Structure 1
Amino acid sequence: MANTFDSQETQFVSEEDSVLADTLRLSVSKHKIDDHFTLVWANKYYYQFIGYPKEEYEARFHNRPDLYFEDNPEDFAVIVEHVMEALEKNTGGYECIAGLNAKGGKHKWVKFASTFLDEYVDGYQLSYTTMVDVTDLIEAQQQLDEQKRALQKANEELERLAFVDPVTEGYNQTRFDITARRVIDSAEPGTYALVSLDLKKFKLLNEIQGKESGDRVLRYVYEHLGDHLDGEECVARISADAFNLLMREGNKDDMLARIDNMVQDINRFNIDAERPYYLSFTVGVYPIVDTDLSLTIMRDRANVARNSGKEAPNTRHFTCTFYSDVDRRNLLTEQDMENRMHGALERGEFVAYFQPKQRLSDGAIGGAEALVRWIDPVRGLVPPDDFVPFFERNGFIINVDLCVFEQVCKLLKSWLDQGKEPVPISVNMSRAHLREHDFLAPYEEIRERYGVPAALIEFELTETLVFGDPETFMGVIDSMHARGYRCSLDDFGSGYSSLNVLKDVDIDTMKLDRAFFSAGDATGQREWDVVESVVALAKKLDLDTVAEGVEVSGQAVRLRGMDCDMLQGYVFSRPVPVAEFEKMLFGE
């Protein structure tokens, strides 16, 4: 075959084509269109292209490209596929790009361009083929494709971070807000409601079972909530254990029925359980009657409704409250307070009033509790119940507590400077302070500035704080004692584990909850037996006792007979301004 190539070269390629191929240094070859695509002629650049001299190529591969491509048959299959398609469609030739392994293992990407000739050898039609090295182009394209894939992957990751909740793998707040906004804007007012749903006591579940288990619960809740949504309704985990749902609004009964079905479905895992554990929820619903409101305001209104119903009876593992005009007015009031609170603090509108504690042994004043009052120049005296709970929620109570504490230190300092005998003053400390590790630092700075002995100040801590975090509570008392302060346990008897508390916490004073005395003269013997037992127990534990909320003289007489140390209530004095308190204390 080799001799035939040499002798018949002019037969296979024209002189003009040969000159052009030499000028372009272009690989040119002719092949039978048989099972092997047998090579019948090639110019010198063909052999240079593949890296094999002509004699070695003929000896090793016998002019059979199918043998040459044995190491990379997938590339040969590409060429075969294009040849067969060209023959089938009678296109007269083909073009394709395929890989080729040159001598030494160097891989090239090659563009094959072939024309079918009206020439035959041994009964097989010939094809005229050129090969062009396009490795640089293909690799550049591959690199570009890889960069595109990397960019696409990065964009997908950014989109996931921006729109996917990492715990539930579903909607996060951003995606929910975008989706809900679109749906609300395209619907008539009153078509949808925004629902705020919160999983009760989830923090406890996390602490007992661990975060991984807690995350599984959140995913489970998310999936089951979604199972009950249709059309353009949607759900998202907004934060921690809080979810938002956009639901088509029916009447209240219909909404309650749907929410009830969701909760019962979520708790269906308890069927046949030996020790069932029910997931309970608080739910707030804002019917979207004003579609121009922002999602933030709608969410706030649903949250207000949810928070207002937290203490409602829970017979079906959830409470549900609908946003009302009362909630709207409360929101406006709270917004007004938030707008005014910083200025009020700077202007000295938060004033300490003092409610004396009467020593039952001799009737004298044995101390007092400092209570905050807001003296608004326009609205007058604002009752603490109107602003303290709100300040507890927004954290401003920290500023108010420190303001009252400074007034107490200033008052004690003035008594000491005047040579008067001071009485201990108790101050309330919100649990919000305990979020800081060194929560006493700002108190100490104020006390040291006025040079007041710490022993003259008593911090009142509520019993509910003990139940929430007893270990923290014990650490708090230890820190206070280490700096010389006294501590009292306020509202003793308001919880269900009061006696258990006494064995764990090193308090100085026990304040009996006003609930013991709320019936006045109608207080029954059973209540008095409990009070007497508690006072006797306090004596054994070397604790001072203060009875709160005492309003009738008969109660005072009985408490004196039980050897209770002090009472604090309207039977002796209401909370009074500092001038009136000093007059009562010093008789001036």
Structure 2
Amino acid sequence: MKDDTVQKRLENDLKSNNENYRYTFDNLSAGIWMKDYTTGQVNYASKAVEDILHTSKKELYNDASIWENMIDPKHRTDVFVKQHLLKKGESIKHKYQINAGDGTTKWVYDQTIPRFNEHGDIESLFGMLVDITPEIEMHQRLDYLSMHDPLTKLPNQQSIYEKIDRLCENNEPFALLYLDIDRFNIINDSLGYQVGDEALKMIADRFVLMTPEEGYIGRLSSNDFVIIVKNDSSKASVNTLAKKLIQRMEEPITAIDYELHITTSIGISFFPDDADNKLTLLEHAHSALYHAKKHGKNKYQIYSISKDISSYKKYILDRDMREAIVNEEFEIYYQPQVDPQDGLILGAEALIRWNHKDWGLVSPGEFISLAEENHLIHFIGDWVIQNVFAQLKQWKDKGITLRPISINVSPIRFMKKGLVELVSEQLALHQIPAKYIEFEITEGSLLKDEKRVLSTLKGLRDLGVKIAIDDFGTGYSSMEYLRKFKPDTIKIDQIFIKNLTNEDKIDRGIISSILHLAKSIDANIVAEGVEEYEQYEFLQQQECNSIQGYLFSKPVQLEKYEQMIQIGYLKPTKTKMKPVLQEERRDFFRFVFPYHVRGEMTITEVANRKVELGSTKILIEDVSLGGLKMVSSLKLPINEDMKFMFEFKLINELFDLNGILKWKNEEKADMYSYGVSFDLNQHDEDRLAPLINLMSTLRNANQEIPDTEFIYEDAHLFFLKN
């Protein structure tokens, strides 16, 4: 007899529903589970739970701790700590690793939801378990790729940046070595990128093996690498590492059957000595690298603001350059270009100077290379161009006869877009004929990016601007570029002019040939660096178009040049005028040494600020209780706010004496003589006075002065070697 009671139908319906749920849950990729809250016993687990945990339902039902024991120890505490949230009625979401029943390691996502009874107590827990191993591994892979270079498997730029940031935050001293593979582009261009890539991998492997155990290495870009090592107080280990890296790289590399001879250059900066942040450290290391390459490659160079006076000066100029642009501390000087036949002023070259508050008048030779390194050369170069145009407009408004102004343009500026547009705007703004502007470009500029440079030059010539080749004859492709691009002016480099007074037939022949060549292509010719009357006479006889040099005038300020052009002509000096010595008139007997005495100097104070620098070599000509006269290759300011210490040894007695510079004279070959005024204490005066008397006695008796380091070679050669 069929049982159709309501109770039976409800039981059948419930059974059917449970089977439907079970069927649904067992066919989901996510595992569904339920367990008793009080006992922790698993009451239900879908098939996916078995598959994920690699444990049968029977085992789960019999031992609830199996699942808990699978949780990786490093995640177990975090998982258990969150259980208290269930009592608050909150669900829990976890991501953790498990060691599954078959020994595999997996990542799972586990969501737990509490179920409460009518009394408000947790009765049971149910939730969902999902295998997220593929997603986690993909995420880890993407993280790896975002932080590592795919070719060398080394940390990439982003990783390097984060590493440096962390080290700076920890405030622990470290050294940053910036490595660049010399001339690596030749390998890519001549042998192909496949060989280049293989070589890079082998180079990276070598660097890894050479990196100290606690060090760090990454690939910054292309053929640039960075090594970071902890720094000891002496920095000796960093120097040793740099030498070993260079030596190891000199060993040949075989990449796809090609034996390659590769070298590396290294720039080094230190935290916190040189900078306290990532970008500045990298910039300083790259600056040091630039100097290593400039001095022949396959070398290492340490960036140091305290190495010596020269390094300190470069650091100060580099630091203050941005502020100088804003404060308009730059000034344009003008050096006349004169017709040697009648002395008429034909034009001038615009030469920038920097009026630095501590270092006085700084010449472009001291800061232009720094401006190129720190990417400020575009601002400075454009400032000069704009100011020359504005000055021509002022002269025009005053009714002063206009004469062409020649402007030096950095090679880097020719490779940056916008130069032609800038000149076009200035021509329109000031209504100045383009023939009064001439841009000077060195032969080296043409070699950097020939196609772009020649395109820019053509654009300037189309505007009517004249082009001069500066330092002609010092490059490698002079004739080739004359053929490719006919210049309006050729400037003979002063290296050829200097030897004219020595009856040097080779230099005279070179100059005569250049003059003849210029005439044949209808180019104007300017002889630079004319200082002697004999040079002037030779160039006059050879019918040189224009002369520029101290014989007629040094570079002068605007007011002085305006006076010159209003007169209209200049006369050469018959003999080269030597500057009058501005000696400090010491009140004490001065002992003149038979030869230069080797010494060292350092700056101790600038504008009441103490500084600690390394020393710079000097040659001492004479000494007294009041001071000394010395020779140096450094250009220093006469500034009483800048104090020095001078170290030298006389008759085996070592002196460290404080003083200031009182006067300066510019000598030949980029050397300067200085008068120094001592600030002696009584003790040092009592030591120095008897030695001066003793040296005088020895000299009068024609006896040698013992235990004193005399330098017998020419001062210029000494500074070249040192």
Give your verdict on TM over 0.5.
yes
Percent identity over paired residues: 25
Tell me if structure 1 keeps the 8 A contact 2:500–2:508. Answer: no
Aligned partner of 2:159 among 160, 172, 175: 175
Q: Does 1:150 align with 2:135?
A: yes
User: Which of 387-396 and 355-364 deviates more?
Assistant: 387-396
Equivalent residue for 2:516, pick from 536, 540, 544:
536
Matched, 1:447 2:391: no
**CA distance 1:470–1:235, shift in 2 (3 Å):** same
Residue from 175, 178, 183 that aligns with 1:196: 178
Task: Provide closer, same or farther for how the CA distance between residues 395 and 461 of structure 1 changes in structure 2, counting only shifts above 3 A.
Answer: same
Q: How does 1:481-520 map to 2 (within 5 A)?
A: 481-519=461-499
User: Partner residue of 1:222?
Assistant: 204
Q: Equivalent residue for 2:364?
A: 384
Give the Å deviation of 1:283. 1.1
- Counterpart secondary structure, 1:459: strand
Aligned-partner Cα distance in 1 for 2:166–2:406: 55
The aligned residue for residue 25 of structure 1 is: 15
Of the candidates 149, 162, 166, which is equivalent to residue 165 of structure 1? 149
Give 1:510 deviation, angstroms.
0.7
Give the AA of the match of 2:547: L
User: Structure 1, residues 124-169: CA drift from partner, whole Å, max 9, x if none?
Assistant: xxxxxxxxxxxxx9xx968x535x64355235414531x2234533
Change (3 A) 1:331 1:173: farther
1:302 aligns with 2:285: yes
**Aligned partners of 1:352 and 1:372 also within 8 Å:** yes
For 2:447 and 2:313, how far apart are their aligned partners in 1? 29
- Following TM superposition, by how much is the alpha carbon of 1:461 offset from its aligned partner in structure 2, in angstroms? 0.9
Paired position in structure 2 for 1:105: none
Partner of 1:338: 321
* 8 Å CA contact 1:302, 1:323 repeated in 2: no
Task: Name the aligned partner's letter for residue 238 of structure 1.
Answer: L
Query: Which TM-score applies when normalising by structure 1?
Result: 0.68
Letter in 1 for 2:290: N
Counterpart-to-counterpart distance in 2, 1:112 and 1:181: 51
Q: Taking structure 1 as reference, are residues 576 and 272 closer, same or farther at Cα in structure 2, changes over 3 Å only?
A: same
Change (3 A) 1:262 1:21: farther
One-letter identity of the residue aligned with 2:176: L
Q: CA deviation at 1:554?
A: 0.7
In the TM superposition, residue 544 of structure 1 has moved relative to its aligned partner by: 1.3
What pairs up with 1:96-115 in 2 under 5 angstroms?
none
CA contact (8 A) 2:274 2:304 kept: no
RMSD: 4.3
Q: Residues 198-225 of structure 1: CA distance to partner in whole angstroms, max 9, x if unpaired?
A: 2233455555556665554443322221
Please tell me whether the aligned partners of residues 358 and 567 of structure 1 are also in contact (alpha carbons under 8 angstroms).
Answer: yes
- How do 1:567-582 and structure 2 match up within 5 A? 567-582=547-562
Partner of 1:329: 312
CA spacing shift, 1:478–1:207, aligned 2, 3 Å: farther
Superposition pairs of residues 402-413 of structure 1, within 5 angstroms: 402-413=382-393
Correspondences of 1:63-462 after superposition (within 5 Å): 144-145=130-131, 149-150=134-135, 153-154=138-139, 156-161=141-146, 163-179=147-163, 193-203=175-185, 205-206=187-188, 214-247=196-229, 258-269=241-252, 277-286=260-269, 293-314=276-297, 317-321=298-302, 323=304, 325-326=306-307, 329-330=312-313, 332-345=315-328, 349-376=329-356, 380-462=360-442
Aligned AA for 2:145? R
Q: Residue in 1 aligned with 2:70?
A: none
- Taking structure 1 as reference, are residues 444 and 283 closer, same or farther at Cα in structure 2, changes over 3 Å only? same
Indicate the residue corresponding to 2:539 in structure 1. Answer: 559
Deviation track 1:158-181 (CA, whole Å, cap 9, x = no partner) reads 4531x2234533112443355567
Distance 1:562 1:274, change over 3 A: farther
Equivalent in the alignment of 2:683: none
Equivalent-residue separation in structure 2 for 1:292 and 1:437 (angstroms): 32
Report the CA distance between 1:549 and its aligned residue: 1.1
Superposition deviation, residue 97 in structure 1: 5.8
C-alpha separation in 1, matches of 2:368 and 2:136 = 53
Letter in 1 for 2:332: A
Tell me the secondary structure at the aligned position of residue 533 of structure 1. Answer: helix
Structure of higher CA gyration radius = 1
Shift, 1:20, TM fit: 10
Counterpart contact for 1:183–1:232, Cα < 8 Å: no
* Equivalent residues of 2:531, 2:550 under 8 A apart: yes
Q: Distance in 2 between matches of 1:320 and 1:411?
A: 42
Deviation at 1:362, TM superposition (A): 2.4
- Partners of 1:523 and 1:351 in 2: how far apart? 38
TM-aligned CA distance change 1:458 to 1:168, over 3 Å? same
Structure 1 unpaired stretches of 5+: 1-17, 29-44, 51-93, 100-110, 115-136
Q: Is the 8 A contact 1:308 1:321 kept in 2?
A: no
SS of residue in 2 equivalent to 1:309: helix
CA distance change for structure 1 residues 286 and 372 in 2, over 3 Å: closer, same or farther? closer
CA distance in 1, matches of 2:257, 2:504: 42
Q: Is contact 2:289-2:301 (8 Å) kept?
A: yes
Bigger proportion of residues as strand: 2
Deviation of residue 574 (structure 1)?
0.7
Secondary structure of the 2:294 match is coil
Deviation at 1:342, TM superposition (A): 3.3
2:526 alignment counterpart? 546
The verdict on how the C-alpha distance between 1:401 and 1:230 changes in structure 2, with shifts beyond 3 A counting, is closer
Shift of 1:411: 3.1
The offset of 1:381, in angstroms, is 2.8
User: Aligned partner of 2:219: which letter?
Assistant: R
Bigger drift between 207-216 and 226-235 goes to 207-216
Distance 1:399 1:180, change over 3 A: closer
Write the deviation string for residues 4-61 of structure 1: whole angstroms up to 9, x where unpaired: xxxxxxxxxxxxxx99984642699xxxxxxxxxxxxxxxx89x999xxxxxxxxxxx
Shift of 1:566: 1.1
- 3-state SS of paired residue (2:461): helix
Deviates more, 1:284-293 or 1:409-418: 284-293
1:475 aligns with 2:461: no
Distance 1:422 1:23 in 2: 108
Q: Write the letter of the residue equivalent to 2:550.
A: Y
Q: What amino acid does structure 2 have at the position aligned with 1:25?
A: K
**Does 443-452 or 511-520 show the bigger shift?**
511-520
